[in-house]
């Protein structure tokens, strides 16, 4: 009993024991960093727009949920490998091109069809544009002041950034950025809903909560946002308080849901650059040859990493023939599994499958 108490006392003296686990520590540091940014952005909390208070609470919950999911995802053995090696490979010469294709032009979706590429481009950039405008405004990192000379002053982190004419195109785009993003999202969501209703494969695979709910939430947020502008510009404020509350509620619900649903892949998308660099770099060094047919199918580095991750998760796939199942190409792996059920060494037959090089 005394020994247990000594261990507990030593643990309490350890600075790391101030947090329950790594997730708690990372979350605490993230919230502290956010508070510091808000402090400087609002000039020591002297410039806070209380009309955006609800959005601020929803955004904080979103960031908390996002960081929690990202940190828990990043602690997984395979993710650790991609992040660790991806950061090392971040300065490859191909990184700018990969980043543009994956984060800006969505080139990787183009091969699936122009229709799907268009809907992803509209939804993706519509959401990104909305976040780029909303977050700085919500935390008062950016706001506008109006002078008598007809110029707006853009204030960023308490510093006067630039002056723009109130009747100029920059002011028009700045004040209508959320309306533009709403039109983009509505167009993209409409295309996505049309495909999910008409495409037989999509209808067979989709579920309401995972596939349709995110689209309905984005649609509701965008429509109520445009209605708010319509009320102010056309109806001279008629119904504005009610529409404003409905829109704020829809935004808060969407922000809270975002880290835990299908829409989470939007902020997670930059990690695809790490994965692409990983495959390209190590694939160019040396390819792993299949232990049965001798065909190179993945890089040696990736094959070793897969075996290492499997062992960390106490998943051993060492076969009696002396190789690991991960050291076989996909066709030979399928044949080997068949051989375990039939008792026939199908993986040793030198017969090429009809779908030998099928993707997916």
- For the stretch 51-74, pLDDT in tens is 788 888 888 888 888 888 888 888
Closest CA to 301 of 271, 321, 281, 317: 281
Runs of H (alpha helix) within the chain: 2-13, 22-41, 53-74, 77-88, 95-99, 107-110, 114-138, 169-175, 177-198, 200-205, 213-233, 240-257, 265-268, 271-285, 300-312, 330-342
Classify residue 194: in a domain, yes or no: yes
Percent of the chain residues past pLDDT 70, beyond the cut: 89
Q: Of 7-16, 19-28, 193-202, which gets the smallest average pLDDT?
A: 7-16
Average pLDDT for 226-244: 87
Tell me the pLDDT of the chain averaged across its residues: 81
pLDDT of residue 123: 92
Examine the fold and report which residue of 220, 238, 268 is the final residue of a domain before the chain moves on: 268
The verdict on 239 and 325 lying in the same domain is: no
Classify residue 159: in a domain, yes or no: yes
Handedness of CA 90, 94, 98, 100 (dihedral sign): positive
Characterise 329 by phi-psi region: left (phi > 0), alpha (psi -120 to 50), beta (else).
beta
Handedness of CA 73, 78, 82, 83 (dihedral sign): positive
Characterise 323 by phi-psi region: left (phi > 0), alpha (psi -120 to 50), beta (else).
beta
pLDDT of residue 17: 61
Average pLDDT for 165-178: 83
Structural domain count, the chain? 2
The verdict on 227 and 309 lying in the same domain is: no
The verdict on 202 and 164 lying in the same domain is: yes
pLDDT digit string, tens, across residues 73-118: 888 888 888 888 888 888 888 888 888 988 888 888 888 889 989 9
Q: Of 17-26, 122-131, 190-199, which gets the smallest average pLDDT?
A: 17-26
The verdict on 225 and 255 lying in the same domain is: yes
Structural domain containing residue 229:
21-72+93-268
Classify residue 27: in a domain, yes or no: yes
Give the burial class of 157: count Cβ atoms within 10 A of its Cβ; 0-12 exposed, 13-18 middle, 19 or more buried: middle
Classify residue 63: in a domain, yes or no: yes
| CATH code at position 107 | 1.20.950
Inter-helix orientation angle 213-233/177-198, to 10°: 140
SS (H, E, C) 155-203: EECCEEEEEEECCCHHHHHHHCHHHHHHHHHHHHHHHHHHHHHHCHHHH
Average pLDDT for 34-51: 78
Classify residue 174: in a domain, yes or no: yes
Q: With a cut of 60, say whether residue 16 has pLDDT above it.
A: no
Total residue length of the chain: 360
Q: With a cut of 60, say whether residue 9 has pLDDT above it.
A: no
The verdict on 177 and 126 lying in the same domain is: yes
Q: Of 119-123, 134-138, 222-226, which gets the smallest average pLDDT?
A: 134-138
**Residue 190's pLDDT band (cuts 50, 70, 90):** very high
Examine the fold and report which residue of 203, 234, 268 is the final residue of a domain before the chain moves on: 268
Q: With a cut of 80, say whether residue 196 has pLDDT above it.
A: yes
Q: With a cut of 80, say whether residue 341 has pLDDT above it.
A: no
Q: How many CB atoms lie within 10 A of CB 113?
A: 11
**Residue 351's pLDDT band (cuts 50, 70, 90):** low
The verdict on 221 and 314 lying in the same domain is: no
Average pLDDT for 48-52: 77
Average pLDDT for 133-145: 83
The verdict on 32 and 168 lying in the same domain is: yes
Classify residue 28: in a domain, yes or no: yes
The verdict on 291 and 262 lying in the same domain is: no
């Amino acid at each position: 009993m005394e020994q247990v108490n000594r261990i507990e006392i030593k643990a309490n003296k350890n600075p790391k024991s101030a947090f329950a686990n790594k997730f708690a520590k990372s979350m605490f540091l993230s919230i502290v960093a956010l508070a510091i940014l808000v402090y400087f952005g609002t000039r020591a909390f002297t410039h806070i727009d209380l009309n955006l208070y609800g959005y601020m609470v929803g955004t904080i919950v979103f960031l908390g949920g996002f960081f929690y999911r990202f940190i828990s995802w990043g602690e997984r053995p395979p993710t650790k490998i991609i992040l660790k090696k991806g950061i090392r490979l971040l300065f490859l010469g191909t990184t700018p091109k990969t980043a543009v294709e994956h984060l800006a032009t969505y080139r990787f979706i183009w091969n699936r069809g122009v229709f799907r590429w268009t809907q992803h481009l509209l939804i993706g950039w519509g959401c990104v544009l909305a976040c780029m405008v909303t977050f700085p405004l919500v935390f008062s990192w950016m706001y506008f002041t109006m002078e008598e000379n007809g110029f707006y002053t853009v204030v960023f982190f308490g510093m006067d950034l630039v002056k723009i004419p109130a009747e100029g195109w920059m002011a028009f785009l700045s004040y209508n950025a959320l309306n533009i993003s709403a039109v983009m999202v509505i167009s993209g969501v409409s295309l996505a809903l049309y495909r999910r209703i008409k495409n037989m494969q999509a209808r067979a695979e989709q579920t309401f909560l995972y596939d349709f709910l995110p689209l309905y939430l984005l649609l509701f947020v965008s429509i109520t946002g445009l209605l708010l502008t319509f009320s102010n510009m056309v109806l001279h404020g008629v119904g504005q308080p009610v529409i404003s509350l409905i829109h704020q509620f829809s935004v808060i619900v969407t922000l809270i849901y975002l880290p835990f649903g299908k829409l989470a892949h939007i902020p997670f998308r930059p990690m695809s650059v790490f994965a692409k660099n990983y495959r390209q770099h190590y694939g160019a060094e040396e390819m792993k040859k299949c232990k049965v047919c001798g065909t190179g199918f993945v890089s040696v580095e990736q094959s070793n990493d897969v075996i290492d991750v499997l062992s960390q998760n106490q998943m051993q796939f060492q076969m009696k023939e002396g190789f690991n199942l991960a050291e076989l190409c996909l066709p030979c792996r399928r044949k080997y599994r068949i051989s375990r059920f039939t008792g026939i060494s199908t993986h040793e037959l030198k017969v090429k499958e009809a779908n030998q090089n099928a993707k997916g």
